[in-house]
Amino acid sequence: MIKEIQLVGAAILILLFNPLSQAQGWKSYPYHQDGTLIYFPRDEGSHPEFQAGSGTEWWYVNMHLRGDSTQHDYSAMVAFFNYNFRIFNIADETEQDFHSFTNFGLLSAAQECLNLKFYPFFMETENWLTKTDSLGKLVPFQYVLKVGGDTYALAIDLDAQKPPLIIGKDGLVTVGSGDSYYYSQTQLVVTGTLKFKGKTEPVSGIAWIDHQYGPFFASPGGKNLMNGSACNWTMGRISTCGIFSLLMIKSPRTTATEFLRFISTSKPKIPAAPFRWSAFLFGNLGRDYFLPVAGA
């Protein structure tokens, strides 16, 4: 089966089960976690100071869905970049059928909240925005996403079930030789419709959202233009305690080995002895966790 949809980027993010309360008293605007630099809903919107030429900003969502009619498993990824392009990957995991679309156009992004409108060339307008109620007031941490065309498309609602995960504890991390503000929404419920090969059906599932912005530069090929570092994302789920994020960067200085470095935690209970997950070796090295990956 297709286990993941990869997006060019700067991090490997892994979600671990967290036995904290799922009570949703946090689910209101404005929202801010003490000691962090990220404020909601403002920082869900765009940051003109980091627009193309002075930095990078992107919004992306990964999701796993189940078709109500076909009972097929689907994966999808959507990413909007401030360089005026959008990536849309979609896969029927049951049939092992994967499709990827990169479209250029014009991206319009509000500053006060998440409200993206993308005008792809020769296609209908796409959008990703925060829901509003009958009075036009924002519904905190609930979103609507519409993307795609006549053959492959998504029209879904996303509802966050957990507070945002502020990466690096305060929300500012180093990416190559640049800095990045970074937060994740690690557990969202998805409902809506999916179109695959022209056939539409209701779907439901789960999703993970990331938003990253700052004075760093990256290309669709995964190259950090500041220092030539290459980097990429993967995300996964393991049943254990805590939430943590990992950063994988291959710089010109690394030739035979890549390293994944621990950058954010909610006090995970990592075993003292190394344990294996897939091809990776997890080791408890104190404050930092490094995971050697064979080959380069």
Q: Is residue 2 part of a domain?
A: no
Is the bond preceding residue 48 a cis peptide, omega within 30 degrees?
no
Q: Please give the pLDDT value at position 51.
A: 78
The pLDDT assigned to 159 comes to 98
pLDDT at position 140 is 98
Would residue 258 count as lying in a domain? Answer: yes
Instruction: Give me the pLDDT at residue 23, please.
Output: 57
Report yes or no on 6 lying in a domain: no
Is 57 a member of any domain?
yes
Domain range for 67: 12-293
For position 155, which CATH number holds?
A: 2.40.370.10
- Residue numbers in the chain where pLDDT is lower than 70: 1-24, 52, 176-177, 218-296
Rounded to two decimals, the pTM is 0.74
CA distance 67 to 73: 7
Q: What pLDDT shows up at residue 20?
A: 39
Region of 97 (left: φ > 0; alpha: ψ -120 to 50; beta: rest) is beta
Q: How many domains does the chain have?
A: 1
Q: Which residues lie below 8 Å from residue 278, measured CB to CB, with a gap of 6+?
A: none
Please, are residues 58 and 172 in contact by the beta-carbon 8 Å criterion? Answer: no
Structure tokens at 234: 């993967």
Which amino acid is it at 281?
Answer: L
Taking the C-alpha atoms of residue 269 and residue 262, their distance in angstroms, rounded to an integer, is: 13
